[in-house]
Amino acid sequence: MKNLYLLLLCLPMISFGQSGRYQISGKIGSANDQHSIYLYRSEAGASQIDSCIIQHGNFTFTGSVAKSDWAHLTLTKPGNHRSYVFLPTPLMIYLQPGQITLHSVDSLLHAKVKGNPLTEDYQQFRDEILPYEEQLYQFRESYMNAIESGSIPAFNAAHGEKLTEVNKSVDKVIEKFIKSHPESLVSAHLITDRPGPGPDLGKKEAQLNSLSLKIRNTPAVKQLYQVIAATSRTEIGKPAPEFSQNDTTGKAIELKDFRGKYVLLDFWASWCGPCRAENPNVVKAYNAYKHKNFTIISVSLDKAIGRKSWIEAIKKDGMPWLHVSDLKYFENEVAILYGIQSIPQNFLIDPNGIIVSKNLMGEELEKQLGIRLGKD
């Protein structure tokens, strides 16, 4: 399951300065006529900026941007109503004032993008990674179908090993690009926003240290240094950092009050598609072991504006355990304490308050609980 983080994961994105008018002009092949193309802000819970219908293979977006930022283009067929995180693999661009042009004979996957230097840097990276992106695209489509049909275990069995190999190849391309582009913010992006396990934290820190001083001093890279420090505090075998945060009724919940129990500390959000897809597994594990000295505390990374959606998602997904949040998105104080960069993530804490496992997804959660608490 961990290998699937490359396919679907919710994470924030780094952003930088500059404001003004932009225009994105694209030609993507007449076979895509009447398909919808969307422009999204590249962040967890991505917000739609604009959309249009492709006509004669062409589309155009114009607008203004308050600050330069990463954005995504994604293409959908008529009648596709999947949420953003489940849409076909998007194309990333750097949205800043000026012209961006896109050309492809068939799809966004094979698009060539020209425009500002960062977008062209990223295009160079895409050229190098294209053979693996084509494979990941197929994996992603199969995985989305597996989520919708409830056949994730079968997907894991059929594709797990091959996906691991592809991920390793992707990591090698990323490492090569970072080494050859120490002055590019794209390198910083590839380190800070790399989904999934990626390299270990020691390797990430080494990659950060290889960047130029100018890039290392950007807010996003400084933040990742802080995340690395936080994550070193939450390694397996270390005491789980103590915290207090309010539940849905405003009551303060403290981790220390659960000593003597196994606790799954689960980070999620109502807007996070992969989190919602994982919730049935968590519910199943909870129901199987709730009478065996086990409980769950879920920490939501929803925003204040999403409080209602948070409460509704808890009810809809049938999660009767404790839920806490300060509704500060990725600035959630518990998330910062635990070095959370992406969701879903979780930590299994033993009765002595020690972290004994991390990121137990799918069948792995029940398997670990069975080992530690015994099966019926």
Residue 293, domain member (yes or no): yes
316 and 201 co-located in one domain? no
Residue 2, domain member (yes or no): no
Residue 15, domain member (yes or no): no
CATH code for position 49? 2.60.40.1120
pLDDT averaged over the chain? 85
For the chain, the domain total comes to 3
Residue 243, domain member (yes or no): yes
107 and 210 co-located in one domain? no
pLDDT bracket for residue 176 (50, 70, 90):
very high
More confident residue, 43 or 295: 295
Looking at residue 365, its pLDDT comes to: 93
Residue 197, domain member (yes or no): yes
242 and 226 co-located in one domain? no
More confident residue, 330 or 48: 330
39 and 60 co-located in one domain? yes
More confident residue, 277 or 257: 257
More confident residue, 35 or 268: 268
203 and 275 co-located in one domain? no
92 and 189 co-located in one domain? no
216 and 162 co-located in one domain? yes
Looking at residue 86, its pLDDT comes to: 45
141 and 210 co-located in one domain? yes
pLDDT bracket for residue 334 (50, 70, 90):
very high
CA distance 96 to 355: 43
pLDDT bracket for residue 346 (50, 70, 90):
very high
pLDDT bracket for residue 329 (50, 70, 90):
very high
Last residue of a domain, one of 190, 205, 233: 233
Residue 15 has pLDDT above 70, yes or no: no
CA distance 322 to 246: 10
146 and 92 co-located in one domain? no
Last residue of a domain, one of 198, 233, 268: 233
Looking at residue 301, its pLDDT comes to: 96
Domain residues for the domain of 153 are 131-233
356 and 243 co-located in one domain? yes
Residue 81, domain member (yes or no): yes
Rg (CA), the chain: 21
Over residues 98-132, the pLDDT tens digits come to 999 999 988 888 899 999 888 899 999 999 988 88
Residue 125, domain member (yes or no): no
pLDDT > 70 in the chain, percent: 87
In 152-272, which ranges are continuous DSSP H helix? 152-180, 185-192, 201-209, 213-216, 219-232
Looking at residue 80, its pLDDT comes to: 57
249 and 162 co-located in one domain? no
CA distance 366 to 376: 12
Which residues, other chains included, contact 231 with Cβ-Cβ below 8 Å and sequence gap of 6+? 201, 338, 339
Which residues, other chains included, contact 237 with Cβ-Cβ below 8 Å and sequence gap of 6+? 354, 355, 356
Residue 126, domain member (yes or no): no
Structure token digits, residue 365: 């959660």
177 and 194 co-located in one domain? yes
Specify the residue for token string 């690009």: 177
List the one residue out of 226, 229, 184, 182 whose CA is nearest residue 207.
Answer: 182
Last residue of a domain, one of 197, 218, 233: 233
Looking at residue 310, its pLDDT comes to: 97
pLDDT bracket for residue 244 (50, 70, 90):
very high
Looking at residue 5, its pLDDT comes to: 40
CATH code for position 273? 3.40.30.10
